[in-house]
Amino acid sequence: MKITSFLRVAALGIFALIVAVGCATAPTQEMSDARQAIQAARDAGAQKHAPEVFGSAEGLLAKAEQAIEDNQFEDARSDAVAAKKEAVKARNIALAIGAAEETLREAKSLGAEWRDSQRLLARARAAAKAGDEEKAVKLANMAKRQGEDAIAQYYLETAKVMLMEAERLKGQMSPDQLADYKDAEAAYRNQEGRKAYDLISRLLASLKGGVERYMVVRGDNLWDISGNPQVYDNPYQWPLIFKANADAIEDADLIYPGQDLRITRDNSSAEIDAAIYHARTRGAWELGVVEESDRAFLNR
């Protein structure tokens, strides 16, 4: 009995030692998970959209790293797990607020943003600052949906006006153009505003005999060329010309008589919107200097 008891006690002691050794190992996987989660949050823009939560994640990771140096592996493990949790929260907030901001920027560039959308976004930012992930994401998603609805409404209303204009020109339409007109009408009836807008825009451009090339004359600039009824009839679309002729135009503010510019007619609504947004938000410019905002636009 004494030998049996001794063996039992010895076995328990060995088991306890194994458990203790296991607990004493550095939390390698937990640290790796935390670092990856923090990087994902950083990539999502958490430093901008959820700085408090992101800062908390970084602080917890720093504590975990210090605990490892002090051989406090259990504390390090706990802090690493908490850091990952905060980083995931920061990423979720950043993705939601970032998406809402992008959608509302597009709506604003079209002059279609709803009045309370920015208030919703401000409330989402406040919730993010307080670390309330659920509320921040919910409010940001509401703002984003409002932006999407505003954009859809804009394209439907614009397509309706353009369809009325095209209807007056039906007698000039070829069979192919008439088919495009009917497709645009169908898209409008189906509440597919952007599709209807794209179709009717291209149709009207072809009916109005829009030019495919433009020869620069003295006194021209991209703003005026884009506003020409035979080009885009909208000066804010000048970045489309700039991008289509990037091989010939170095500085968007400096073109020369005799340059033969290509005028694209197959631009999507997204490309047109991006051009208008760039034209409206480009910022200060200087003749003879290639602005960084223009470089960024070309690289999109």
* Entry field: residues in the chain: 300
Residue 44: phi and psi, rounded to 5, are: -85, -5
* Radius of gyration in angstroms for the set of CA atoms belonging to the chain, rounded to a whole number: 30
Query: Per mean pLDDT, which of 6-10, 146-150, 167-171, 208-212 is the most reliable?
Result: 146-150
Q: Which residue has the tokens 């200087």?
A: 286
Domain boundaries in the chain? 13-95, 151-207, 213-298
Q: 231 with 211: CB under 8 angstroms?
A: yes
pLDDT value, residue 24: 62
Count of CA atoms in the C-beta half-sphere (13 A) of 236: 15
| Number of other CB atoms surrounding residue 84 within 10 Å | 24
What is the rounded average pLDDT of the residues 243-265?
Answer: 88
Compute the distance between CA of residue 245 and CA of residue 253 in angstroms, rounded to an integer: 13
Compute the distance between CA of residue 98 and CA of residue 140 in angstroms, rounded to an integer: 9
Residue 113 pLDDT exceeds 80? yes
Output the CA angle 209-212-214, nearest 5 degrees.
Answer: 110
Q: What is the pTM of this model?
A: 0.66
Interstrand relation of 260-262 and 213-215 (parallel, antiparallel or unpaired)? antiparallel
Of the chain, the percentage scoring pLDDT greater than 90 comes to 55
pLDDT value, residue 150: 94
What is the rounded average pLDDT of the residues 117-121?
Answer: 96
- Annotate 40-69 with b (16+ C-beta within 10 A) or e (fewer): bbbebbbeebbeebbebbbebbebbbebbe
pLDDT value, residue 10: 47
Q: 77 with 60: CB under 8 angstroms?
A: no
Report the chain's mean pLDDT, rounded to a whole number.
87
What is the rounded average pLDDT of the residues 78-89?
Answer: 97
pLDDT value, residue 14: 47
Least Cα distance to 225 among 191, 260, 270, 185 occurs for 260
Tokens for 256, please give them.
């020369």
Compute the distance between CA of residue 141 and CA of residue 131 in angstroms, rounded to an integer: 17
Look at residue 258 and give its three-state secondary structure.
Answer: coil
pLDDT value, residue 268: 84
What is the rounded average pLDDT of the residues 161-176?
Answer: 87
